[in-house]
Each structure stands twice: as C-alpha cells, then as structure tokens.
C-alpha cells in the first residue's frame, strides 16, 4: 500500500483568516500592535524563526499566550474555512489507491474539528497534530509515527505541504515530498502551482 501525508493549513484548507485573527487577538491582549495578515502568514511557517519571539517577544510560548490562543482559536477556527479548489476531488480520487493521513503543526483536536467541518475528515484515518508528538515539524517524528502506524515503508510514502517545514520533516524521514504554492507561502522555486500538477506528481511517483 502507498501513503500520502498531507499538511493541513495552506495545503488542504485556507485557514488564514482564523490564524491571523488569533495571533492578533493574543498580541492585542499582550499590549502589542496588530500585524498585517499577509505578514503573519508569510512568517508563520518559516523554519528559521522562533515563532514565540517573532509574534509575542518571548523566548518561548507562555501559559498566558497558549491559553489566549487556544480560547480564541477554539471559538473561531471554523469561521471562513475554505477547501482549496480541486482538493476535494483530488482526495476523492486518491482514496481508492492510497492510505491518506494528515500531519499538521496545529492541535490535533482543532484539526479534526476543522477537517470534519469542511467534510474532509472521513478521508483521513490518521490526523496527527503538534500535541501528538514531542517535536513538531520540521522534526521528522510526525512523519515517522504515521509510517509506523500504517506499517508503510518510507519509499512507499510522499509528503505534501506548502511550507519548508513540511519538506524538511519529509527529507529527515527519508520520504519524498512535494512543495505546493497555493498556501500561505510564496515560493520562488521548487514549488508546484496547481492541484492538477500535484495529481500528476503523485501518480507518476508511484506509477499508478
């Protein structure tokens, strides 16, 4: 059997509205100015920055920040969620030939709630979030955990994501990956632009 591991935010669904509003809610409650939405989305997945320091000015996320983020996100994460064009059709096609999974740096409870809300949850028997592992992406733990759970060899798997964190996690796990460019990042190279192109990349890799 073959396995496709998808990132969620910026790959399957556009959840940018909830993410930017939540970060700005936390910032406002900490006495910080709001940031422009695109600026947040361009930096939220950057593997080279410390997110706590970048967004809130602390070396690590504090209990207050985590509490504020969780409260607001839990209440608003379903607002204005959009599945990217062509993704539902792609998933519907892939389900016959592949085991499908999600590896997201979001909380797994929120991830399941969001994917169920847009009617994608049932396609993924495994949905892992940052709370499912000790080290989230770009660490390979999430990818390795999914491979082990489904007893699939790394050369029979592929990771799909919109962030270099996804690609780094896949590479460290020895798994092939595809970087997509319809998400939160604006990649200048090595990224594909359309879901149709993604479908070709997947089926060409596995000769199906």
pLDDT tens, 86-130? 999 999 999 999 999 999 999 999 999 999 999 999 999 999 999
Residue-level pLDDT at 188: 87
Residue-level pLDDT at 80: 82
The answer to whether 188 and 67 have CB atoms below 8 angstroms apart is: no
Domain ranges of the chain: 2-14+81-206, 16-76
Residue-level pLDDT at 64: 97
Q: CATH classification of 2-14+81-206, choosing from 3.40.50.720, 3.40.50.1000, 3.40.50.970, 3.30.70.380?
A: 3.40.50.1000
Tell me the per-residue pLDDT of 36-91, one tens digit each, with 9 for 90 and over.
999 999 898 888 999 999 999 999 999 999 999 999 998 998 988 999 999 999 99
Q: Which CATH class is domain 16-76?
A: mainly alpha
Q: What is the arithmetic mean of pLDDT over 177-204?
A: 94
Would you call 128 helix, strand, or coil by DSSP? strand
- Lookup: tokens for 180: 């997509």
Cα–Cα distances in angstroms (integers) from residue 176 to residues 33, 58, 161, in the given order = 40, 35, 11
- Lookup: tokens for 109: 């409870």
- Lookup: tokens for 9: 């935010």
Burial class (CB in 10 A: 0-12, 13-18, 19+), 170: buried
Closest CA to 29 of 53, 55, 51, 4: 55
Cα–Cα distances in angstroms (integers) from residue 76 to residues 54, 80, 107, 186, in the given order = 23, 9, 14, 25
Residue-level pLDDT at 79: 87
- In the structure, what pLDDT confidence band is assigned to residue 184 with cuts at 50, 70 and 90? confident
């Amino acid at each position: 059997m073959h396995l496709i591991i998808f990132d969620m935010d910026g790959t399957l669904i556009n959840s940018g509205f909830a993410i930017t509003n939540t970060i700005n809610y936390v910032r406002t409650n900490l006495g910080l100015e709001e940031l422009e939405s695109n600026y947040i989305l361009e930096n939220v997945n950057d593997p080279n920055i410390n997110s706590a320091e970048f967004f809130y000015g602390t070396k690590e996320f504090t209990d207050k920040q985590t509490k504020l983020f969780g409260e607001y996100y839990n209440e608003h994460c379903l607002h204005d969620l959009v599945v990217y064009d062509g993704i539902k059709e792609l998933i519907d096609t892939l389900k016959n030939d592949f085991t499908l999974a999600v590896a997201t740096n979001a909380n797994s409870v929120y991830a399941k709630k969001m994917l169920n809300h847009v009617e994608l949850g049932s396609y993924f028997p495994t949905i892992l979030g940052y709370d499912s592992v000790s080290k989230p992406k770009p660490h390979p733990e999430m990818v390795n955990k999914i491979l082990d759970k489904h007893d699939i060899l790394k050369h029979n798997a592929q990771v799909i994501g919109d962030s270099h964190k996804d690609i780094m996690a896949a590479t460290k796990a020895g798994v092939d990956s595809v970087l997509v460019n319809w998400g939160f990042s604006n990649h200048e190279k090595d990224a594909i632009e359309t879901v149709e192109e993604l479908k070709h990349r997947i089926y060409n890799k596995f000769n199906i």
